[in-house]
Amino acid sequence: MVTQAVVGCTLRVTLPVPRGCTVQPLRTLATALIVVLAGAIVASPQAIATTTPDTTCSETSLPVSLGLLPETVHGQLCLPAGDTPRTVQLLVHGGTYNSQYWDLPYDSGSYSYQRDMAANGLATFAVDLLGSGRSSQPLSALVTGTSQASVVHQIVGKLCAGAVSGLRFDRVVLVGHSMGSGVAVLEAATYHDVDGVILTGMSHSMNLLALTNIFVQGVRPALLDPELSQRGGDPGYVTTMPGTRGLFHDPGVVDPGVLAADEATKDQVPATVVPDLLTLAFVSPLSRAITVPVLIANGDRDGLFCAFTCSSEESFLAAENPYFSPDAHLEVRLVPQAGHAVALAISAPDYRADVRDWLSMHFAG
pLDDT over threshold 80, residue 182: yes
Instruction: Give the burial string for 58-75 (b: 16+ CB within 10 Å, else e).
Output: bbbbbbbbbeeeebebbb
pLDDT attached to residue 50: 62
pLDDT attached to residue 51: 62
Say how far apart CA 142 and CA 129 lie, in whole Å.
13
- Architecture of the CATH domain 45-363: 3-Layer(aba) Sandwich (3.40)
- CA 266 from chain centre, in angstroms, equals 16
> Among 23-32, 67-76, 136-145, whose mean pLDDT is lowest?
23-32
- Residue partners of 258: CB distance under 8 A and separation at least 6: 104, 106, 107, 111, 249, 344
> Which pLDDT band, with edges at 50, 70 and 90, does 30 fall under?
very low
Residue 178 contacts residue 214 (beta carbons within 8 Å): no
Full 3-state SS string of 276-292: HHHHHHHHCHHHHHCCC
> Among 42-51, 70-79, 255-264, whose mean pLDDT is lowest?
42-51
Summarised one tens digit per residue, pLDDT across range 102-115 is 999 999 999 999 99
Instruction: Tell me what the mean pLDDT of segment 44-61 comes to.
Output: 71
pLDDT over threshold 70, residue 4: no
pLDDT attached to residue 39: 33
Burial class (CB in 10 A: 0-12, 13-18, 19+), 188: buried
Tell me the longest C-alpha to C-alpha distance in the chain: 62
> Which pLDDT band, with edges at 50, 70 and 90, does 9 fall under?
low
pLDDT attached to residue 264: 97
Residue 326 contacts residue 234 (beta carbons within 8 Å): no
Average pLDDT of the chain, as a whole number = 88
Instruction: Give the burial string for 36-55 (b: 16+ CB within 10 Å, else e).
Output: bbeebebbebeeebbeeeeb
pLDDT attached to residue 322: 97
**pTM more than 0.85:** yes
pLDDT over threshold 70, residue 329: yes
pLDDT attached to residue 7: 52
The pairing of beta strand 269-270 with beta strand 237-240 = antiparallel
Of 79, 121, 92, 87, nearest to 19 (Cα)?
A: 87
> Among 2-16, 45-59, 93-107, whose mean pLDDT is lowest?
2-16
Domain chopping of the chain, boundaries: 45-363
Q: What percent of the chain has pLDDT over 70?
A: 86
Summarised one tens digit per residue, pLDDT across range 64-77 is 999 999 999 999 99
